[in-house]
Amino acid sequence: MADASASTVIGKDSTFKGEFTTEGSAKVLGTVEGTITAKGQIEVPEGGRCNATITAERLQIDGRVEGSVTVRNSLNLSSKGALVGDLIANAVTIAEGATLIGHCRVGPEALKQGTGAQAAEPKGQGQQASRR
């Protein structure tokens, strides 16, 4: 059985391409391209880069993340962090000076709705717009 507190580190001079899955947590000091799935926390420190679809319990961004992100618990985007892409999270903290470019859906309802195109449009919005 895997130790849920175990942490994987992608080194500063390393690039990982493909699908990365961990039962624990991970720290990306280098570059990841592809998909990251973690039952624990993903940490992208300053200098770390992810061009990936990320699903995690928690996400700490001090580096740069480009791609779709789903966080079951909380996202913390620091003043030096950048997220370019769509975000679905239960809770979000964004520091002054952080970069966030993309669509955001935050709260327990956002997680329940999932990532489909229908979830992006609130119920009834399309009907109201067509009547005007």
Query: Per-residue confidence of the chain (132 residues) as pLDDT tens digits?
Result: 444 455 899 999 999 999 999 999 999 999 999 999 999 999 999 999 999 999 999 999 999 999 999 999 999 999 999 999 999 999 999 999 999 999 999 998 888 886 543 333 433 434 333 333
Domain residues for the domain of 24 are 7-131
pTM of the model: 0.81
Q: Is residue 2 part of a domain?
A: no
Q: Is residue 55 part of a domain?
A: yes
Domain total of the chain = 1
Q: Is residue 15 part of a domain?
A: yes
Residue 87 DSSP one-character state = E
